[in-house]
Structure 1
Amino acid sequence: MMQIDDVSWSRSLRAIFGEGMFAAVGARRRDDWRLDALDVMQLRTGDPRGWPRVVMAPAGSNYGAGLENPFGAVTPGEFNAAFPVARSGAEQIMVTLQGEWFQTEDIQDFDAREAELTSHARVILERFGVDALFFTNAVSARENPHADMFGREGVYEGFTSHVMDCGVIAVSATEVGIFWGFTTD
């Protein structure tokens, strides 16, 4: 595993996440990681390392911590729709967030950019260490956490009121990260 710092983190975060996306990390303070994930989703906690986050609404404004936040109404019970996924699958899902419907065919010049985008996703997830667990709402992971997430069906258990949302939850012993994309129409 490579050692990442705030510079490599920031570079990779900017390469993958932009308008209409959510990428934030918070401290893991409880045995039940879902409660810490909810704090991150609802912007009730900051990054424990002080590294940047991206919480950009589709119109280009920042998501707030109130009900305008896409995760404002999420409850701990909704994490039942978060399925374990392998690290490689989590990387693939993060790459597909570039596409409007979270599929590789919706990513401009995907064939030429696949290696670069996957490298950026790998850098982001390296932060969580070798023992990290990953979860997604992509239904393909429910049956097979090791499935090829580039070739998965476009079915998701939504966490928000948007038309479609998809993402990755990264959980380590010390941190929880939320990496999500939204389709609004």
Structure 2
Amino acid sequence: MDTAKLNAIVTEYNRRVDVLVPQLDALIGPLDEAHRSAPMFEAQEARAEGVGMRALNEFKTEHRWTNPEDTKNGVYRIDLASSAVTDPYEKRMRIMTQVPWENTVQRLLEDVYTFAATGPRTRAGWQRDALAVMNREVDDPRGWIILDWDKGNEQRTESRPCYPFVPLSEEGLGSRLYPVTAETTARLLVEMTYEWGPVGTEEQTRAALVDARAVLHRYGDRISCYSNVTEARKTPSPDLANGITGWNPFTEFIGDFGFVVVSSEEVGVFWAFDAR
């Protein structure tokens, strides 16, 4: 090993480093200032949250949840189904929440003999899913309210959990239902409120339709609806001005009508009964 040569290399290395030390020392101040000026993660996170909060209202048109014509008269009805919203972002953000939905359902149906329940949509098909709701086999997937007048009825037995509905197969269910539009479905919900119709005044009808559309809004914009009213046999948009005049029976009562609403995630069953 050439020790003398190695020592010479080390000496030259130390000489060059010693020359650089004063230059590096002179940079300590500017480097510290740069370190202090660099944004911290916490600061950037706070900035992002601030921008997010502003985005809720400042970067888009804020939706009015009340009708200006109502508020002028001291009425503050929340219009969750207003057709005045045209902004696509705002439409996506209009998510029905539990308390307003439950209040609306109760306002429409609590005083009339009805069944209103929702179950999950499965791969078994919407007919099977609807029967599961009628048979009380499933709970509301969101844990929201269910209106079931016959929950404690002793006529509901293990052999007939679907009471007051008659036992049906999937084919039997499908054969008694006709496709209807979402607007017709909302009108059917209003008919339930007025116990088979005809409905009340124009103002009462308008208010009830707002509520009915709000109930359906839970299921989203892409829904399929089916009803047993015979007026829908020829058209999915029948004229219901004279109330419900015919139906394919789902019970042994003197009359019953309703609808099934199907979304990609849920199946709702809403039914009214005339047990006189």
Output the amino acid matched with 1:16. Answer: L
TM-score (norm 1): 0.87
Alignment of 1:48-127 (within 5 A): 48-57=141-150, 62=152, 66=157, 67=160, 69-79=163-173, 80-100=175-195, 102-104=196-198, 107=199, 109-127=200-218
| CA displacement at 1:129 relative to structure 2 | 1.0
**Structure label with greater radius of gyration:** 2
The one-character-per-residue Cα deviations of 1:150-174 (angstroms, maximum 9, x if unpaired) are 4465100011111100001000111
Contact 2:258/2:271, CA 8 A, preserved across alignment? yes
Once residues 7 and 77 of structure 1 are traced to their aligned partners in structure 2, the CA distance between those partners, rounded to angstroms, is 36
Once residues 110 and 40 of structure 1 are traced to their aligned partners in structure 2, the CA distance between those partners, rounded to angstroms, is 34
3-state SS of paired residue (2:226): strand
| CA displacement at 1:72 relative to structure 2 | 5.0
Q: Which runs of 5+ in 2 are unaligned?
A: 1-90
Q: 1:29 to 1:87 in 2, by over 3 A?
A: same
Q: Which runs of 5+ in 1 are unaligned?
A: none
The one-character-per-residue Cα deviations of 1:110-155 (angstroms, maximum 9, x if unpaired) are 4341111111111111111111100000111110102233446510
Choose 148-157 or 32-41, whichever is displaced more. 148-157
Query: How many residue pairs end up in the alignment?
Result: 178
Output the amino acid matched with 1:50. Answer: G
% identity of equivalent residues: 26
Contact 1:42/1:72, CA 8 A, preserved across alignment? no
- Please give the root-mean-square deviation of Cα atoms over the aligned residues, in Å: 2.0
| CA displacement at 1:103 relative to structure 2 | 2.1
Residue in structure 2 matched with residue 17 of structure 1 by the alignment: 109
Contact 1:21/1:180, CA 8 A, preserved across alignment? yes
Contact 2:177/2:226, CA 8 A, preserved across alignment? yes
Matched, 1:6 2:98: yes
| CA displacement at 1:7 relative to structure 2 | 1.0
Q: Return the structure number with greater strand share.
A: 1
The one-character-per-residue Cα deviations of 1:58-104 (angstroms, maximum 9, x if unpaired) are xxx7458633621252322222111000000000001101233x122
Residue in structure 1 matched with residue 11 of structure 2 by the alignment: none
Contact 1:140/1:152, CA 8 A, preserved across alignment? no
Q: Which of the numbers 104, 122, 126 marks the counterpart of 1:29? A: 122
TM-score (norm 2): 0.60
Q: Return the structure number with greater helix share.
A: 2
Q: 1:43 to 1:110 in 2, by over 3 A?
A: farther
